[in-house]
Amino acid sequence: MGQELQSAHLAVRAIAGVASLPLEQEREGLVADALSPWVAGANGLSQKMSQQQYAGVVPITVFAHK
């Protein structure tokens, strides 16, 4: 199992635990397999947007608290 997929398994297990959701190991694997490409893409985007050249870029959607 690759490091990213192993991290995805740990993340799924942790989130399920915090939410008090019982998750069988087989289903944990299915969820981790589905999410790991998304996590890799999100991490890549986060690294890119952390570069100085993107410091002024902000999201188009603004959430306001009332």
- Tens-binned pLDDT, residue by residue, of the chain (66 aa): 677 778 888 889 999 999 999 989 889 989 988 888 888 888 899 999 999 999 998 878 878 887
pTM of the model: 0.58
Q: Is residue 60 part of a domain?
A: no
Task: With respect to residue 65, please indicate whether it lies within any of the assigned structural domains.
Answer: no
Q: Looking at the domain assignment, is residue 48 inside a domain?
A: yes
d(CA 20, CA 16): 6
Q: Which of 42, 43, 8, 2 is nearest to 28 (CA)?
A: 8
Residue range of the domain that includes 18: 3-54
Cα–Cα distance for residue pair 56/39, rounded to 1 Å: 24
Q: Is residue 25 part of a domain?
A: yes
Query: Does the residue 12 lie in any domain?
Result: yes
The owner of tokens 């740990």 is: 10
The CA-based angle 48-53-58, given to 5 degrees, is 75
Is 20 contained in some domain? yes
